[in-house]
Amino acid sequence: MATEETLVLVKPDGVARGLTGSILARIEAKGYSLVDLRLVEPDRERLERHYAEHEGKPFYEPLVDFMMSGPSVAIRVAGERVIEGFRSLAGTTDPTTAAPGTIRGDYGRDWGLPVQQNLVHGSDSPESAAHELGIWFR
């Protein structure tokens, strides 16, 4: 299996709560490499490209607003099967029920807000990873 790359975002809730370092430590502890990293305050246009697959869903507008509420940390991460591996490390989408031991399961919960604030994003396929890395590292 060749080395692959994925886009990880520490979303605005993770940055605001001071969890960036803990999340980076988990990625490194699992053995993946940090190839590039930047703090980004995305505009609407960038988020519309990133979340195009969700346009029209009920959570789309609150999601874009949430992602514009503060900076995110974008990270280019490399390793064998890192796309699958990081999504496993992140845990399932809903942080209330994400398994303990995962990033979302350990640090996240429902805050009664309009959209799930679940700390991180990870690309879900090689095609999405290539597309998303081009959006966040251009």
Q: How far is the CB of 66 from ligand RTP (least distance, A)?
A: 7
Please list every residue from 83 through 102 that binds ligand RTP, using CB under 6 A: 93
What is the Cα Rg of the chain in Å? Answer: 14
Name the segment binding ligand RTP (CB under 6 A); options: 19-27, 35-43, 111-119, 129-137: 111-119
Binding residue for ligand RTP, selected from 52, 59, 110, 125, defined by CB under 6 A:
59
> What token pair was written down for 100?
């303990």
Annotation marks residue 131 as catalytic:
no
- Taking alpha carbons only, the member of 82, 79, 74 closest to residue 37 is 74
Binding residue for ligand RTP, selected from 122, 129, 133, 136, defined by CB under 6 A:
122
Q: N- to C-terminal Cα distance for the chain?
A: 27
Phi, psi values for residue 34, rounded to 5°: -85, 115
Contact residues toward ligand RTP (CB under 6 A) are: 59, 63, 93, 115-116, 118, 121-122, 124
Catalytic residue list? 121
